[in-house]
Amino acid sequence: MKGAPRELARTTYWLRTVLEGFLPVERTAHSRLLDIGSADGHIAHFWVDKGGLATYCHYELDACRQVAALYGIPLRRHQNEGLPEDGSWLRGVGETGLEVAFTDLAPAGPYTLATFDTRAYEATYALEMVGHIAAGLEHSGWLLSVIDEKISTSSWQDRLNAWFEEVEVITSLSPRARGLSFFLARRPLQDQKPSVEYYSWQATFKNQTYDFRGAPGVFSPKALDSGTAFMLDVMDISPQERCLDLGCGTGAVAVVLSQEARVPMVAVDNNARALRLATENCQNNRADSVKIYPSDGFTDIESTEMFDVIACNPPYHTDFSVARRFIEGSFLRLREGGRLYLVVKRTDWYARKLKSLFGGCRRFTNDDGYTVFVAERQSVPKRPKVPSVGTRKHQKRLEKTSRRKRGRQR
């Protein structure tokens, strides 16, 4: 391994503690473990060090990249159009047998056992994942999971009972594990198939109705949010312009713009569930001109790719770190005359940032409190040549020469 995990998240620390206490050492050697969501892939790393095989997976791209970089694992992107057959948009295997998969599901097994650190999964998404994990386990397989207070213990136990023959609640841990609950589920049921918990909804623009599906794990999964709808109303695009949907979510912007303006679209996101939904929604609405792939902001977009329009509903962060990267990246990737459309609720920071980079912006605000900024990439003015200034002695010599020339002219 090329590195070592940093200080562990509390859920991962106790998950490993329970794993070591409940599983005999002889079960480790040559067995295959699925690690979902542990901090820095720590459980998978621990398992490989004990002589087993392990796959780490997560639906967030940066989490997978962190683990891959930590352990020197090259990740390769799914290259075909549409959804990956195995559900993994990026995948790679290290020399020690540790595998990393960027997916919103559970990579195909069979696995001897699985661990699930639900820390980064919202409750509904975590509950859905139980079925995907169970489907990947051997008949005698185990699932060890940890939940915090965002998931009720009763609903978690009920979901485990729906997918496993035997469920055990693990108690008598240290008081330092207060607020965490641990479950050991054995022998997954064989007569059930997992599924994504889709939410169906519609959106209408210019008298055309589009059918969409959302799911747990993405922003606004059950309807088009008001801010994005307002941005679509404001946007003015010509058919020849090339457009980027930055942080595409369910893919609603990509679908509508590709159909309404007939423009070639690129849609990217760092959330594997969002990529699934954007792909399916484009297929269902015949938005065939949309190219969809994973990217953390502009990181994975070819450096030569330029756009006429970039549309973005940036995620909220108190330090504006993501918004800063998106805006600065957009400025570099817009052609001259290209526009950045941003929909926000807190306006002051964005207005200052856009002015500093673009020189200014237009602003549209609706009754719901959303603001759409439109910033245009202007041509970069040439700087006037500034005469070089030498030493004071040299300046005096130049002035003397100038007076002498004026005297001759008289």
75-108 tens-digit pLDDT: 999 888 889 988 999 999 999 999 999 999 999 9
The pLDDT, as a whole number, for residue 47 is 94
C-alpha–C-alpha distance, residues 372 and 231, integer Å: 6
Question: CA angle 214-220-221, nearest 5°?
Answer: 15
The pLDDT, as a whole number, for residue 1 is 40
pTM tops 0.75: yes
Q: Which of 269, 259, 324, 318 is nearest to 292 (CA)?
A: 269
Mean pLDDT of 246-265: 94
pLDDT band at 402 (very low <50, low <70, confident <90, very high): low
C-alpha–C-alpha distance, residues 108 and 385, integer Å: 63
**166-219 per-position pLDDT tens digit:** 999 998 788 899 999 999 999 999 989 999 999 999 999 989 999 999 999 999
Q: Which residue has the higher pLDDT, 399 or 13?
A: 13
The pLDDT, as a whole number, for residue 387 is 45
Task: Estimate the crossing angle of helix 42-49 against helix 10-22, to 10 degrees.
Answer: 30
What residue spans define the domains of the chain?
A: 10-188, 199-376
Q: Residue 25 has which token pair?
A: 């050492």
| Fold exhibited by the domain 199-376 | Rossmann fold (3.40.50)
For residue 154, give every residue at least 6 positions away whose Cβ sits within 8 Å of its Cβ, in sequence order, or none: none
Q: Which amino acid is at 402?
A: S
C-alpha–C-alpha distance, residues 193 and 127, integer Å: 14
The pLDDT, as a whole number, for residue 400 is 62
Return the CATH number of 10-188, one of 3.30.429.10, 3.40.50.150, 3.40.47.10, 2.30.40.10: 3.40.50.150
pLDDT band at 243 (very low <50, low <70, confident <90, very high): very high
Intrachain domains 10-188 and 199-376 with the same fold? yes
CA torsion, ordered 119, 280, 343, 379, to nearest 10 deg:
120
